[in-house]
């Protein structure tokens, strides 16, 4: 049986309309905090225990700064919203200074081999991740109406940081996308004949604004799951998007089949998109907009693989060889 306290935290977060993955992450770190304190109830802990835990993450586990920040956010939520005893603003703990890893980037030849070895059922979302620079969850959460064939673009709503953006769409994907939409429509027509079907999941604000949109075809996921399932929050029968875990697995399998001796993930396709755009002479500001980065310095990390070295610096050794 699961923890009653963690179940309560989960239900409170659902009530406050937190995203599913935010709930999973926060509960993971809250559970880790409780275990770190020998399962002492969080109500019996406060600033000191939180400081020790966050320092432990840095000193012993060597977590990345973003990981430590996520753990802190989870505990801030816990004490502000659940325990009702907010943490001190100036916590004293060892802050993570671990350097982020440079992104893995594939060559165009490796990308071609990888995409050729991905099964037909998973190839299209992978081509969108590479061809449009999408994150994994941005690809699987695409709705039918997010594809703009007239302007060869894809609309990304509520991406990382809650930002919206419009990205490029390769014209070579127009025909496969139209085929995918036709296949999705067959499932949709089958679903709406089911008297128990409650439509696609809608963000809460949109659900209030457009109460009938859940049954409209355009709002349905472009890559729908193979079977209907019950929404864990409302218990309504819906067709969710494809499982991102399966997509990750197929990308790794394709990398092995392609004999690519690099650590390949779905995000590698996005890294490669950005680097290849820069290699072709695209302006870094344009690449920044396509990726949805708030800070240009985040985009500049991709210059490390350009032909003339990081940031266009030519090595003096080249003059001697």
Indicate the burial class of 38 (C-beta count within 10 angstroms; 0-12, 13-18, 19 or more). Answer: exposed
Among candidate residues 135, 141, 241, 250, the one labeled active-site is 135
Of 14, 31, 240, 267, which residue is the catalytic one? Answer: 267
> ∠86-90-93 over CA atoms, to 5°?
105
> Is-catalytic flag, 280?
no
Options 41, 160, 204, 262, the catalytic residue: 160
**CA–CA separation, 238 and 125 (whole Å):** 21
Q: What are phi and psi of 3, to 5 degrees?
A: -65, 130
Catalytic one of 238, 241, 271, 293: 293
Bridge partners, 238 (sequence order): 229
Separation in Å, CA 256 to CA 107, 113, 124, 151, 261: 16, 11, 19, 36, 8
Angle formed at CA 319 by CA 315 and CA 320, multiple of 5 degrees:
110
User: Which has the closest alpha carbon to 212: 195, 199, 222?
Assistant: 199
The question of whether 17 is a catalytic residue gets the answer: no
* Residue 224, helix vs strand vs coil: strand
**151 labelled catalytic:** no
Annotated catalytic, 267?
yes
Distance CA 4, CA 19 (A): 21
Contact 74, 10 (CB under 8 A): no
Considering the candidates 122, 239, 270, 271, report the single residue annotated as catalytic: 270
Residues marked active site are found at 135, 160, 267, 270, 293, 302
């Amino acid at each position: 049986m699961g923890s009653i306290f963690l179940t309560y935290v989960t239900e409170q977060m659902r009530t406050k309309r937190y995203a599913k993955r935010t709930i999973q992450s926060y509960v993971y770190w809250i559970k880790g905090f409780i275990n770190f304190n020998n399962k002492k109830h969080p109500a019996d802990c406060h600033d000191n225990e939180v400081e020790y835990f966050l320092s432990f993450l840095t000193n012993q586990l060597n977590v990345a700064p973003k990981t430590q920040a996520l753990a802190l956010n989870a505990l801030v939520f816990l004490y502000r919203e659940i325990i009702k005893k907010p943490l001190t603003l100036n916590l004293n703990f060892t802050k993570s200074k671990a350097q982020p890893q440079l992104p893995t980037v594939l060559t165009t030849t490796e990308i071609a081999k990888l995409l050729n070895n991905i099964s037909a059922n998973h190839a299209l979302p992978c081509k969108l991740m590479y061809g449009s620079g999408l994150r994994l969850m941005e690809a699987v959460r695409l709705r039918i109406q997010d594809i703009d064939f007239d302007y060869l673009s894809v609309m990304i709503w509520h991406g990382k940081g809650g930002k919206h953006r419009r990205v490029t769409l390769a014209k070579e994907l127009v025909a496969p996308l139209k085929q995918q939409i036709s296949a999705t429509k067959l499932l949709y027509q089958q679903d709406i004949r089911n008297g128990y079907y409650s439509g696609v999941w809608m963000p809460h604000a949109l659900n209030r604004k457009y109460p009938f949109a859940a049954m409209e075809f355009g709002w349905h996921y472009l890559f729908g799951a193979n079977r209907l399932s019950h929404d864990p929050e409302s218990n309504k029968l819906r067709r969710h998007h494809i499982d991102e875990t399966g997509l990750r697995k197929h990308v790794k399998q394709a990398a092995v089949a392609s004999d690519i001796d690099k650590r390949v993930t779905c995000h590698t396709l996005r890294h490669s998109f950005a680097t290849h755009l820069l290699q072709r002479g695209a302006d870094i500001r344009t690449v920044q907009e396509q990726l949805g980065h708030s800070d240009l310095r985040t985009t500049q990390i991709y210059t490390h693989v350009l032909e003339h070295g990081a940031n266009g610096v030519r090595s003096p050794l080249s003059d001697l060889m």
